[in-house]
Amino acid sequence: MSNQNSEPAPRPVDEIDLALLRALQADARAPIGTLSDAAGVSRATAYARLARLREEGIITALTVTVHPKRVGLGVSAVVLIRSTPDNWKTWSSMLPILEAMDEVEYAADLAGEVDLLLLVRLRDVEHLQRFVTEELRGRIPGIGSVRTLLVLNQTPERSLVLPS
């Protein structure tokens, strides 16, 4: 039995779409002429393709990438959280809590030994300590253990990975 109210499946992303996405990844402010040249299509086709990519939710935002240390966030850490099975919240109920934490750049619900992974950006080690002891433990019930890994170096810094 089919659901008549379901949205049509998005068209598959092809090489033209990928070329446009790569060009936007390199420079989100690139003019349409540069984007159409990169994809080898007309400007009208590039406009239409970009509109479709936005409408289908493939492009969700054009954003700015900020160098954390240059804005005063000198400490990066990966935080691994294990839950207690009796009091752990569902992923959907944790989303608003995690999204409200300015320090959280990335969060992932995991299967395996660890239940939640966070990439956090903080001013200093004292900020990290307050984040773990007050923010996490104070706002997310059911935390069994927290393991914090300091990030020494990282690369690449890109907003997304595209298929090659």
Q: What is the pLDDT of residues 10-60, one digit of tens each?
A: 688 999 999 999 999 889 899 999 999 999 999 999 999 999 999 999 999
Domains of the chain: 15-56 (1.10.10.10), 68-150 (3.30.70.920)
Residues 6+ apart with CB under 8 A from 73: 121, 122, 123
The amino acid occupying position 130 is R
Query: Which pTM does this prediction carry?
Result: 0.78
Residues 6+ apart with CB under 8 A from 10: 56, 57, 58
